[in-house]
C-alpha cells in the first residue's frame, strides 16, 4: 500500500486519488487538512514551473511531420464537437472558451440560428446556434462538458456553444483533403476541407464565410 | 524644407495633430480674449507658450514653414510681454489667420509646398507686425466684442532691438494696461484655471470596457457576500454541535462515571468555543471587506460614468471666433457672454448640443441681432449681447441661448402660417404666441426671406429640435418683440445612466425608463374585463387596455402568477396601455450601452445593459412600445406584425452592390434604392462571394479592382460554382477600353457599365434591362 502511495506521490496524482480531490484516504490529509498544505503538492508545483519543454511539445498530438513544413504551410486548429461533427477552427479566430451561460433572448428575433445575447466578463456578445447554422447532426447532443466559444472578427465576438472542446492541433496544409462530394454539393457549405486528427475526420471551416453567416443570422 | 512625405510615421503625425489642436485652441482663445480685454501678462504668457509649443512640435516633425511662422508669432508675444509692442486688431487678425492656416494644415495635411506663397505672405505680414508696421485701418470694421479705445492705441512703446534696421521708428505712446488691469486679471485667471484641467484622449471603446469591468467588480463583490453567508451557516452548525455536546455532558454529569471522559468533554467544549469565536472574527472581517469592496466597486462604476462627462467649455471654444467673424461679415457688433462653462455634460449629449448651439447662434446673429444703426435708433446699445449659459437644475441640464435683438414678429409669423395654408385663418388668429412659435420647429418652415450662407444652410429649427430630442431633451422658445429671443434647452445630464424599473418577461430581465411609466400595479384576474375580445381593467375610473409583453415582443410565454397580473401602465395622450409582465424586480440605475450594432435594428429595444447581478438587461423603447401597443389594439394584429413588414420587403427584388470605395458603393446603393430595389452591399469580391452563397439575389453590380477578390474573379466564381450560376451580373468600371469590356464580358458578366456614367440612368437602365422593375 505504501509502495502504491509513493508512486502516486511521485507522479503528483495522489491529490486526485487519495487527496482532497480523491477519496481523501491519504493518512497525511488528516494532519494537513488540505493538499495545499502538503510538501508533495508544493514540490509538484515547483516541478511544473521548472519543467523543460520538449522542443516539439506543440506537435505532440498533431498531424504527423509538421515540423518539416514551413510555417505558412501549417494551420493551427481548435477542434471541437457539435452534435456528432468534429470541426476545426482557425486558432487565430478564437478569443475565449468559457462555461456556457443561458442567452438572453432578443425581442422579434425568431431566426432559428440566433439564440440571443450572452455576457462574458461584462461584455455582451451575440450568441448563435452553430449546429443549426451548419446543419450538424444533433442526434448526439448529450454533452458532459459543453463550452461556450467566442470567435471574433473585426466587428467583435460571436459566442456559440460546442458540445465538447477537444484540443489544439497543428496540421500541414498539404494533408487537408477536399470535402466529400455530398458536402461540396450542399449549398451553402461552410467546409473547405477535411483532415484526419486523433483518428477522427475533422471538417475545416471556411472562417470568412462562417463569420459572414454569423453576422447575417444576427441581423 | 522637408517635404510632406518626410514627416515621420503616422503615429508621430497623429501626436502632432493632437498637440496642434490643443495649442491652436489656446492661441485662438487667447487672441479673441485679447480683443475683448486688454493684453494682460498672464494672457500674453499663455499665448507665448502656445506659440512656443506649436513651434516645438512643428520642429520635431520637420515642418519648417510652420516653425518659421510660429517663431515670428512667439516673437510678437514676447515683444508684447515686454511692452515693446501693442497687439492691435490688425496684428490679431494676422495671428488668427496664421492659426487657421496651421489648423487647416494639421487637420487636412495640406501640401505646404503648394502653398508656399500663402506661407511667405503670412510670414511677411507677421514680420511686419513684429516690426510694428502693421496698423489698424483708420475705420476698423465692426468686430465682435472689440472695444474701440483699445483699437486706437495700437502703438509701440520702444523700438525693439532686433528690428533696429527697420526704416521707420514707430511713435511712442502709452498702453492702456493700467486702466483696465483689474478687469482683465480676473478673466485671465479664470481662463488659466480652466486651461489647467488636464485631459487625455481615450476611445469610447475603452470607456465601455472600463464600464464593463466596473460592473464586473460590483458583481464579484456580491459573490463575496455569499461566502460570508456560508460562514454564518457554519457558525449556526457549530451552535448545534455545542448543543449536542452540552446534552452529552449533562448525561455524563448525572451518571458521574468517568472523570477522564468528563475532562475530555470539557476540553472539547472549550475548543469548540474557540473555533466559534474564530469564525465569528473571520465573519466580521469578511463583512468589513465586503462592505468596503462593494462601495469601492460602486465608486468605480460612478467614476466611469463621470469619466464620460466633460465641461460645457469643451464645445464653447469655437464660439468667440464664430461670433466675431460672423458679426464682422454681417456688419453687426455683438458681444458673446458665456456662463456656466464648468458645467459637466455627458460627452454624447455635448456632441449633439454643439450642432444645435451652432445653429441657434448663427440664427441669432443673422436674424435676431440688428445692425448697429438700427439698434442705436431703437435706443439700445450698438453692441448686441449673445449669451450662452449652461447649468444643472433638478437633475437635468439646462442650456439657454439668448440675444437682445429684435425678437420674433409674431403677427408676421401668423400671417405666414395663414398664407401657407398651414392652419385655418380663424384658428390661426386664436393661437397663442407660444403656439405660433411651435410652427418655427416644423420641417421646412423657415421665415428667412432668402437662404443666406450664414444660417440658411438647409438645416432648420426642426433639425435642431430633433437633435435635442435624440439626446432625450426638449427645446422651447420665448421671444419679445424689440427685446430679444431666448432658446431654452432641457437635456438629461447623461444618457449613459438611466433610472429604470426592471421587470421579468418570458423569464428574462428587461428594463423600462421610470420617467416613461405612468404607474405600475397588480391586477387580480377577476378584475379584468374584455371588450370586443380585448382585455382591459379599470383604474381610477379609466379604462386601461392590457397587452401581454411576451406577445408584443414575440418572446416565449412568461411565467407570471396566474391569478395576479403585474402591469406597467403607459399613457399616450389620453389613452392608457398596460403592459403585462411576469413580475417586477426593482428600480435601479443602469449604465446604458448601445445595442450591439451587429443586431441591426431591433424593434421596441432601445439599448442594453447589465444589471447589478451581472445578467443582461434589455432596455425597452417606451415610445416604440407604445406605438406597437397602439397598433396592436387598433388593428388587432398580433404576431404577424413584423412579419408583414418582412413580406413587403420580400416582394422587392434584391440586389448586391460590390465596391471597395464607400463613396461609389453608397452612390450606387442610393441610385438603385431610389429606383425601388432592395440593395445590400459588400466591400470586396470575397465578401460578395460569401453573400451570394447565403442569400438569394436577383442581380449583382460589381467593381473590377478590389482587394482579396476582383470583380472578374467574382463573376467567374459565380458562373463556375455559385448556387445560382445564371445570376445576372453587371460590372461597373473606370476602365472604359474595349479590351477591358471584353475581359469582363468574357468572364461572364451580362453588362459592362463605365463608372463615369452611373450618375445618369445608365446603371438603372442596365438593371432594368436585365431583371425588369423592382417588384418581384
In terms of domains, do A107 and A45 share one?
A: no
Which whole-number Å values give the CA distances from B393 to B390, B399, B465, B488, B491, in the listed order?
10, 10, 20, 13, 10
Contacts across the A-B interface (CB distance below 8 Å): 92
Contact A52, A65 (CB under 8 A): no
CATH of region B651-771: 3.40.50.2300
What residues of A are in contact with residue B216 (Cβ under 8 Å)? 121-122
In terms of domains, do A14 and A110 share one?
A: no
Residue of B214, B608, B694 lying closest to A124 (CB–CB): B608
- Interface residues on A facing B, Cβ-Cβ cutoff 8 A: 104-110, 117-119, 121-126, 155-156, 187-188, 208-209, 212-213, 215-216, 218-219
What residues of B are in contact with residue A186 (Cβ under 8 Å)? none
Give the tens place of pLDDT for each residue, A179-199.
Answer: 776 655 554 578 888 888 878
Is the dihedral angle over the CA atoms A178, A179, A182, A186 positive or is it negative?
negative
Q: Which CATH number do you get for residue A152?
A: 2.40.50.180
CATH of region B313-491: 3.30.565.10
Burial class (CB in 10 A: 0-12, 13-18, 19+), B525: exposed
Contact B683, A153 (CB under 8 A): no
Specify the length of chain B in residues: 776
Torsion of CA A167, A168, A174, A175, to 10 degrees: -10
**Predicted ipTM?**
0.73
Q: Is pLDDT of B399 > 90? A: yes
What residues of B are in contact with residue A179 (Cβ under 8 Å)? none
In terms of domains, do A115 and A30 share one?
A: no
Residue range(s) defining the domain that contains residue A8: 2-50
Residue of A105, A110, A219 lying closest to B508 (CB–CB): A105
Looking at the structure, give the CATH architecture of the domain made up of residues B4-195.
Answer: Up-down Bundle (1.20)
The alpha carbon of residue A17 and the mean position of all alpha carbons in its chain are separated, in whole angstroms, by: 26
Closest C-alpha among A40, B92, A50 to residue A29: A40
The pLDDT of residue B11 is: 61
- State the helix-helix crossing angle for B10-36 and B319-330, rounded to 10 degrees: 60
Could you give phi then psi for residue B609, rounded to 5 degrees?
A: -165, 175
Residue of A105, A124, A212 lying closest to B687 (CB–CB): A212
- Interface residues on B facing A, Cβ-Cβ cutoff 8 A: 209, 211-216, 219, 506, 508-509, 553-556, 593, 596-600, 602-605, 608, 610, 614-616, 618, 642, 686-687, 690-691, 693-695, 723
The pLDDT of residue B619 is: 92
DSSP state of B69: H
In terms of domains, do A118 and A170 share one?
A: yes
Q: CA-based angle A172:A176:A180, to the nearest 5?
A: 170
Closest C-alpha among A161, A158, A147, A144 to residue A98: A147
In terms of domains, do A160 and A88 share one?
A: yes
- Rounded CA-CA distance B397/B309 in Å is 12
Please give, one letter per residue, the 3-state secondary structure of B197-208.
CCCCCCCHHHHH
Domain boundaries, chain B: 4-195, 204-307, 313-491, 497-642, 651-771
Torsion of CA A73, A76, A80, A86, to 10 degrees: 10
Percent of all residues in chain A with a pLDDT value above 90, rounded to a whole number: 16
Which band of pLDDT confidence, cut at 50, 70 and 90, is reported for residue B638? very low
Burial class (CB in 10 A: 0-12, 13-18, 19+), B172: exposed
In terms of domains, do A151 and A172 share one?
A: yes
Beta strands in A33-122 (DSSP E): 74-82, 85-90, 94-98, 114-120
Q: Is pLDDT of A210 > 50? A: yes
Contact B352, B470 (CB under 8 A): yes
pLDDT, greater one: A149 or B230: A149
User: What would the mean pLDDT of B423-441 be, rounded to a whole number?
Assistant: 81
Residue of A119, A155, A187 lying closest to B598 (CB–CB): A155
8 Å CB contact of A104 and B616? yes
Q: Nearest chain B Cα to A110, which residue? A: B554
**What integer best gives the mean pLDDT of chain B?**
77
User: What would the mean pLDDT of B601-624 be, rounded to a whole number?
Assistant: 84
CA-based nearest distance A14→chain B, Å: 28
8 Å CB contact of A117 and B691? no
End-to-end C-alpha distance for chain B, whole angstroms: 63
Beta bridge partners of B512: B501
CA-based nearest distance A124→chain B, Å: 8
DSSP per position, B182-234: HHHHHHHHHHHHHHT-------HHHHHHHHHHHHHHHHHHHHHHHHHHHHHHH
pLDDT, greater one: B762 or A204: A204
In terms of domains, do A28 and A63 share one?
A: no
8 Å CB contact of A126 and B618? no
Q: Is pLDDT of A34 > 70? A: yes
In terms of domains, do A70 and A127 share one?
A: yes
The pLDDT of residue B90 is: 84
Non-local CB neighbours of B756 within 8 Å, separated by 6+ positions = B734, B736
- A103, A106, A211: best to mutate for the B interface, most B CBs within 10 A: A106
In terms of domains, do A38 and A79 share one?
A: no
8 Å CB contact of B556 and A219? no
| Same fold for the pair B313-491 and B497-642 | no
Q: What number of other Cβ atoms are within 10 A of residue A135's Cβ?
A: 14
Closest C-alpha among B197, B200, B185, B198 to residue B45: B185
Specify the length of chain A in residues: 219
Alpha helices, H only, B651-695: 662-674, 685-694
CA-based nearest distance A45→chain B, Å: 27
User: What would the mean pLDDT of B267-294 be, rounded to a whole number?
Assistant: 86
In terms of domains, do A113 and A183 share one?
A: yes
Pick the CATH number of B497-642 from 2.40.50.180, 3.40.50.720, 3.40.50.1860, 2.60.40.10: 2.40.50.180
How many domains does one find in chain A?
Answer: 2
Across B3-12, B176-185, B281-290, the highest mean pLDDT is recorded for B281-290
Which band of pLDDT confidence, cut at 50, 70 and 90, is reported for residue B511? very high
CATH of region B204-307: 1.20.5
Could you give phi then psi for residue B671, rounded to 5 degrees?
A: -55, -45
Could you give phi then psi for residue B180, rounded to 5 degrees?
A: -115, 20
Give the tens place of pLDDT for each residue, B300-332.
Answer: 877 776 777 888 888 888 888 889 888 888 888
DSSP state of A137: -
Helix (H, G, I), strand (E, B) or coil at B608: strand
In terms of domains, do A127 and A181 share one?
A: yes
pTM for the whole structure: 0.52
What residues of A are in contact with residue B605 (Cβ under 8 Å)? 106-107
In terms of domains, do A207 and A165 share one?
A: yes
Which whole-number Å values give the CA distances from B523 to B323, B441, B526, B544, in the listed order?
59, 42, 8, 11
Residue of B597, B610, B690 lying closest to A209 (CB–CB): B690
pLDDT, greater one: B421 or B700: B700
Is the dihedral angle over the CA atoms B42, B48, B51, B52 positive or is it negative?
negative
Amino acid at each position: 500500500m505504501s509502495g502504491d502511495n509513493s508512486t502516486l506521490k511521485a507522479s503528483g496524482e495522489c491529490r486526485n486519488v487519495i487527496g482532497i480531490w480523491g477519496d481523501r484516504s491519504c493518512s497525511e490529509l488528516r494532519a494537513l487538512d488540505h493538499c495545499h498544505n502538503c510538501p508533495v503538492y508544493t514540490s509538484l508545483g515547483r516541478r511544473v514551473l521548472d519543467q523543460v519543454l520538449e522542443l516539439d511539445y506543440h506537435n505532440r498530438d498533431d498531424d504527423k511531420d509538421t515540423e518539416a513544413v514551413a510555417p505558412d504551410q501549417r494551420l493551427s486548429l481548435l477542434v471541437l464537437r457539435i452534435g456528432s461533427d468534429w470541426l476545426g477552427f482557425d486558432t487565430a479566430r478564437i478569443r475565449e472558451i468559457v462555461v456556457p451561460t443561458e442567452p438572453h433572448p432578443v425581442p422579434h428575433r425568431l431566426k432559428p440560428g440566433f439564440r440571443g445575447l450572452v455576457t462574458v466578463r461584462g461584455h455582451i456578445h451575440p450568441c448563435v446556434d452553430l449546429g443549426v447554422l451548419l446543419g450538424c447532426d444533433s442526434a448526439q447532443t448529450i454533452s458532459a462538458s459543453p463550452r461556450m466559444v467566442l470567435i471574433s472578427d473585426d466587428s467583435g465576438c460571436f459566442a456559440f456553444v460546442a458540445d465538447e472542446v477537444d484540443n489544439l492541433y497543428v496540421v500541414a496544409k498539404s494533408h487537408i483533403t477536399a470535402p466529400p462530394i455530398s458536402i461540396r454539393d450542399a449549398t451553402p457549405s461552410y467546409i473547405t476541407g477535411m483532415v484526419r486528427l486523433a483518428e477522427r475526420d475533422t471538417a475545416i471551416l471556411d472562417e470568412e464565410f462562417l463569420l459572414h453567416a454569423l453576422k447575417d443570422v444576427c441581423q | 524644407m522637408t517635404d510632406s512625405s518626410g514627416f515621420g510615421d503616422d503615429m508621430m503625425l497623429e501626436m502632432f495633430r493632437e498637440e496642434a489642436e490643443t495649442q491652436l485652441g489656446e492661441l485662438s482663445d487667447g487672441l479673441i480674449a485679447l480683443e475683448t480685454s486688454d493684453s494682460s501678462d498672464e494672457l500674453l504668457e499663455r499665448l507665448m507658450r502656445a506659440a512656443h509649443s506649436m513651434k516645438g512640435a512643428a520642429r520635431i516633425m520637420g515642418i519648417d514653414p510652420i516653425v518659421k511662422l510660429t517663431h515670428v508669432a512667439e516673437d510678437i508675444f514676447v515683444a508684447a510681454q515686454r511692452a515693446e509692442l501693442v497687439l492691435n486688431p490688425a496684428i490679431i487678425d494676422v495671428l488668427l489667420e496664421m492659426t487657421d492656416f496651421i489648423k487647416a494644415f494639421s487637420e487636412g495635411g495640406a501640401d505646404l509646398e503648394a502653398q508656399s506663397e500663402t506661407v511667405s505672405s503670412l510670414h511677411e505680414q507677421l514680420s511686419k507686425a513684429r516690426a510694428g508696421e502693421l496698423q489698424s485701418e483708420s475705420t476698423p470694421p465692426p468686430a465682435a466684442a472689440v472695444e474701440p479705445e483699445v483699437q486706437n492705441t495700437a502703438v509701440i512703446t520702444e523700438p525693439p532691438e532686433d528690428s533696429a534696421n527697420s526704416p521707420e521708428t514707430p511713435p511712442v505712446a502709452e498702453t492702456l494696461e493700467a486702466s483696465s488691469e483689474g478687469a482683465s486679471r480676473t478673466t485671465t485667471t479664470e481662463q488659466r484655471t480652466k486651461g489647467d484641467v488636464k485631459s487625455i484622449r481615450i476611445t469610447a471603446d475603452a470607456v465601455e470596457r472600463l464600464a464593463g469591468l466596473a460592473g464586473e467588480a460590483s458583481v464579484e463583490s456580491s459573490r463575496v457576500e455569499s461566502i460570508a453567508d456560508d460562514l454564518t451557516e457554519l457558525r449556526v452548525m457549530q451552535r448545534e454541535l455545542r448543543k449536542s455536546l452540552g446534552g452529552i455532558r449533562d448525561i455524563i454529569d448525572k451518571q458521574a462515571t468517568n472523570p477522564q471522559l468528563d475532562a475530555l468533554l470539557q476540553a472539547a467544549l472549550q475548543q469548540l468555543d474557540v473555533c466559534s469565536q474564530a469564525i465569528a472574527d473571520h465573519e466580521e472581517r469578511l463583512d468589513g471587506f465586503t462592505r468596503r469592496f462593494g462601495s469601492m466597486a460602486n465608486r468605480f462604476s460612478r467614476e466611469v460614468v463621470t469619466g464620460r462627462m466633460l465641461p460645457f467649455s469643451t464645445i464653447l471654444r469655437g464660439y468667440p471666433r464664430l461670433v466675431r467673424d460672423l458679426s464682422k461679415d454681417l456688419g453687426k457688433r455683438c458681444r458673446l457672454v458665456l456662463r456656466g462653462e464648468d458645467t459637466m455634460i455627458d460627452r454624447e449629449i455635448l456632441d449633439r448640443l454643439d450642432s444645435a448651439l451652432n445653429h441657434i447662434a448663427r440664427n441669432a446673429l443673422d436674424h435676431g441681432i440688428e445692425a448697429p444703426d438700427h439698434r442705436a435708433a431703437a435706443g439700445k446699445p450698438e453692441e448686441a449681447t449673445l449669451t450662452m449659459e449652461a447649468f444643472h437644475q433638478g437633475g437635468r441640464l439646462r442650456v439657454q441661448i439668448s440675444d437682445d435683438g429684435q425678437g420674433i414678429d409674431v403677427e408676421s409669423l401668423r400671417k405666414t402660417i395663414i398664407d401657407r395654408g398651414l392652419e385655418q385663418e380663424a384658428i390661426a388668429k386664436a393661437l397663442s404666441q407660444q403656439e405660433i412659435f411651435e410652427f418655427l420647429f416644423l420641417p421646412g418652415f423657415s421665415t428667412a426671406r432668402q437662404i443666406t450662407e450664414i444660417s440658411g444652410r438647409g438645416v432648420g429649427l426642426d433639425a435642431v429640435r430633433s437633435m435635442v430630442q435624440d439626446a432625450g431633451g426638449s427645446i422651447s422658445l420665448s421671444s419679445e418683440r424689440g427685446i430679444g429671443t431666448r432658446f431654452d434647452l432641457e437635456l438629461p445630464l447623461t444618457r449613459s445612466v438611466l433610472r429604470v424599473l426592471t421587470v421579468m418577461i418570458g423569464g428574462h430581465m428587461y428594463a423600462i425608463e421610470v420617467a416613461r411609466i405612468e404607474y405600475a400595479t397588480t391586477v387580480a384576474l377577476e378584475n379584468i374585463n374584455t371588450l370586443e375580445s380585448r382585455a382591459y381593467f379599470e383604474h381610477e375610473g379609466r379604462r386601461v387596455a392590457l397587452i401581454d409583453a411576451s406577445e408584443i415582443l414575440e418572446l416565449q410565454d412568461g411565467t407570471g402568477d396566474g391569478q395576479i397580473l403585474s402591469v406597467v401602465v403607459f399613457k399616450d395622450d389620453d389613452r392608457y396601455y398596460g403592459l403585462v409582465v411576469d413580475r417586477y424586480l426593482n428600480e435601479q440605475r443602469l449604465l446604458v450601452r448601445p445595442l450591439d450594432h451587429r443586431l441591426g435594428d431591433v424593434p421596441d429595444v432601445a439599448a442594453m445593459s447589465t444589471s447589478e447581478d451581472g445578467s443582461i438587461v434589455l432596455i425597452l423603447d417606451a415610445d416604440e412600445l407604445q406605438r406597437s401597443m397602439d397598433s396592436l389594439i387598433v388593428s388587432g394584429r398580433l404576431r404577424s406584425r413584423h412579419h408583414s413588414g418582412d413580406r413587403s420587403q420580400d416582394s422587392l427584388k434584391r440586389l448586391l452592390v460590390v465596391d471597395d470605395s464607400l463613396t461609389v458603393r453608397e452612390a450606387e446603393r442610393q441610385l438603385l434604392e431610389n429606383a425601388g430595389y432592395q440593395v445590400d452591399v459588400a466591400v470586396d469580391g470575397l465578401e460578395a462571394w460569401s453573400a451570394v452563397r447565403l442569400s438569394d439575389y436577383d442581380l449583382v453590380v460589381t467593381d473590377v479592382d478590389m482587394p482579396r477578390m476582383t470583380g472578374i474573379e467574382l463573376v467567374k466564381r459565380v458562373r463556375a460554382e455559385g448556387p445560382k450560376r445564371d445570376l445576372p451580373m453587371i460590372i461597373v468600371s473606370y476602365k472604359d477600353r474595349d479590351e477591358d469590356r471584353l475581359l469582363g464580358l468574357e468572364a461572364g458578366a451580362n453588362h459592362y457599365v463605365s463608372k463615369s456614367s452611373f450618375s445618369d440612368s445608365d446603371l438603372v437602365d442596365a438593371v432594368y434591362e436585365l431583371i425588369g422593375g423592382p417588384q418581384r
